[in-house]
Structure 1
Amino acid sequence: MHENLQKRSIPANPDSNQQTISLESGLPSVGSIVWSAGRTRAQQAINLYANLDYLRPYFDVEPKELVHRLLYSLVPRWPSPDESMKPELYGPSMIVFTLAAILIYQMKLGSHSVQDGTLIGTSFLVCFGYWIGSSFAISSMSFVCNTRLTFMQILSINGYALFSHTIVLLLATFIHTGHDHLLFYGLWCIVGGVAAIRMMFIIMARTINPRYRALLGLFVVAIHMFFLLYLHFAYHELAETISHAMNDEATSANDAAVKSVLAPASPAADVLARSKDRLMARNS
């Protein structure tokens, strides 16, 4: 009898009760699904950029290939259509680190002061900022001009082109002569020019539309050459001015010392000259 009463206590319309339960439980389930899906996508995006395995193939390079790329970055030749443009970031990274080290030496030599930050942070910001920023600008122009190069390829080409900047700044920093600017302008035209032409040829060869080739090539050369001028006249010129000022001070100090030594001897010379004149007058 008790079981029969429990069965009779069941509502007459069980489907409506199930629908209300599913609706009530369905609202939080939809929110949790959306939240979990968004969290999964965000985690995937973070793992894509934070995972070192994504960048590991770009740092896998043999020493012979590295030397070959460094030497050929200074050889202006038109690339063949079948030439592979394998992107690589190990060589460009080492070049930018070397360039930053030379820039730090120039700052210390010129007693360059930084208000907000340190010399190391400033040099790294200038070098890496130019490398990534100019590569992004060239990549944007290449996309507009329909150039068949990826951002990683442009990053690699632009990084190896900075090898000319390290050579020019290294020689211009450690060779201080009276013709510093003449030496710099010669290296700027020869070494920096061949690297800029090499990069220009590679980008122009991958540009499909011939109307934009010259424009894109001039844009690449202008960025490359003007950055080298900026590095020289913004930091090396300050060091050169201080060295010349120190040389002038040393020269003036030497002149003052010579004058101070000769100054006491001038009255004695006058007395000797007067006595000589008197003797000559008496003999006459």
Structure 2
Amino acid sequence: MLNNNNQQTTSVETGVPSVGSIVWSAGRTRAQQAINLYANIDYLRPYFDVEPKEILHRLLHVLIPRWPSPDENIKPELYGPTMIVFTLAAILIYQMKLASHSVQDGTLIGTSFLICFGYWIGSSFAISSVSFICNTHLSLMQILNINGYALFSHCLVLFLATFIHTGHDHLLFYGLWCIVGGMAAVRMMFIIMARTINPRYRILLGLFVGAIHIFFLLYLHFAYHELAESVSHALNNEATMPIGLPVKPVLPLASPMVDVVSKLNNRVMARNN
């Protein structure tokens, strides 16, 4: 009996390393295959193969909110969204320079690229995760496409609100935010809601997507934007006085000195006489 138990333990002990090595090698092989697949340029090439006319057509339809047809195909294309995010980053850099925004660890270019690309990829992953829970028939590449083209409204609103500096700049921004940003948000909501089967999840997912899109535009404007009056004064080279600095009275301090000098002059004149 002891010999049988010893034989079983030794067989199990000798078998564990072999099984572990097999599992390790299989996992390493699959991970290497996945890395080679996504690192291959040929895998990403179909997502950037698009005609300029098609990009222009999609940019125009971003601001036209309509319920998509059931058989409408959403091509997972990333060239247009990538160029839109680059444009948004360039506008954000100019806005940071106007607002005299400083970065302690890093540069303005790195900060703007991190914000824009981080939002695009991060929000797309968040929408994809919630869409998976709500049983929405959209892939991650399709969500990246929809979310990227929706950022075209952010480019328009920030461009007009940054380069048109008037006394009612915030009113202009709020108008563009409601009209342009709202239409793009509704368009994206309709596309995602049309691919969601459950009506209850459809409304919740649409509100979630629209809120992310709208509030990110508010963040970009008010986080890196200076008051319109200060910007207009800086562009027109007008001198601005610092606010809140105490102003010392000059005349009340000078009048006692004048009295002292006049008294001394009177005494000198009296002695001479």
TM-score category (smaller protein): 0.7 to 0.9
SS in 2 for 1:79: coil
CA shift at 1:199, angstroms? 0.2
Aligned counterpart, 1:106: 95
Contact 1:73 1:198 survives alignment (8 Å): yes
Which residue of structure 2 aligns with residue 58 of structure 1? 47
Tell me the percent identity: 83
1:169 matched to which residue of 2? 158
2:57 is the counterpart of 1:73: no
Secondary structure of 2:69 counterpart: coil
Question: 1:109 touches 1:239 (CA, 8 Å); kept in 2?
Answer: no
Structure 1 unaligned segments of length 5 or more: list them.
Answer: 1-25, 254-284
How many Å separate the matches in 2 of 1:135 and 1:149? 11
Tell me, in whole angstroms, the C-alpha distance in 1 between the residues paired with 2:200 and 2:88: 35
> What is the SS of the residue equivalent to 1:250?
coil
- Structure 2 unaligned residues grouped into runs of 5+: 1-14, 243-273
| Secondary structure of the corresponding residue to residue 239 of structure 2 | helix
Q: Which residue of 177, 187, 197 maps to 1:198?
A: 187
Shift of 1:108: 1.2
Separation in structure 2 between the aligned mates of residue 140 and residue 169 of structure 1, nearest angstrom: 29
In 2, the alpha carbon distance for the partners of 1:32 and 1:167 equals 56
* TM-score normalised by the chain length of structure 1: 0.74
Q: Contact (CA 8 Å) 2:37, 2:43: kept in 1 or not?
A: yes
Match of 2:170 among 176, 181, 198: 181
Measured against aligned partners, the alpha-carbon deviations of 1:186-243 in whole angstroms (never above 9, x if no partner) come to 100000000000000000100000111111111111100000000000012x264642
Deviation sequence 1:142-183 (CA, Å, 0-9, x none): 111111111110110000000000000000010000110111
Which residue identity does 1:81 align to in structure 2? Answer: P
Residue 250 of structure 1 deviates from its aligned partner by 2.2
Deviation at 1:140, TM superposition (A): 1.1
Paired residues, number: 227
Structure (1 or 2) with the larger CA radius of gyration? 1
- Alpha-carbon shift at residue 86 of structure 1 (Å): 1.0
Residue identity matched to 1:192: G
Q: TM-score, normalised by structure 2?
A: 0.77
| Partner residue in 2 for 1:133 | 122
Q: Which amino acid aligns with 1:136?
A: F
Provide the rounded CA distance (Å) in 2 between the counterparts of 1:33 and 1:201: 48
Q: 1:239 to 1:127 in 2, by over 3 A?
A: farther
Would the alpha carbon gap of residues 53 and 115 (structure 1) be closer, same or farther in structure 2, given more than 3 Å must change? same
Q: C-alpha separation between the residues in 2 aligned to 1:46 and 1:244?
A: 51
1:89: how far off?
0.3
State the Cα distance separating 1:78 from its structure 2 match: 0.3
Instruction: Kindly provide the CA deviation profile for residues 120-160 of structure 1, in whole angstroms up to 9, marking residues without a partner as x.
Output: 11000000010011111111111111111111101100000
CA distance in 1, matches of 2:107, 2:240: 34
Distance in 1 of aligned mates of 2:136 and 2:187: 16
User: Which has more helix, going by share of residues?
Assistant: 1
Structure 1 residues 205 and 49, CA gap change in structure 2 (3 angstroms):
same
Answer with 165-174 or 138-147: which moved more.
138-147
87-96 or 244-253: bigger deviation: 244-253
Matched, 1:142 2:131: yes
What residue identity is the alignment partner of 1:243? V
Kindly report the root-mean-square deviation, in angstroms, between the aligned alpha carbons of the 2 structures: 2.4
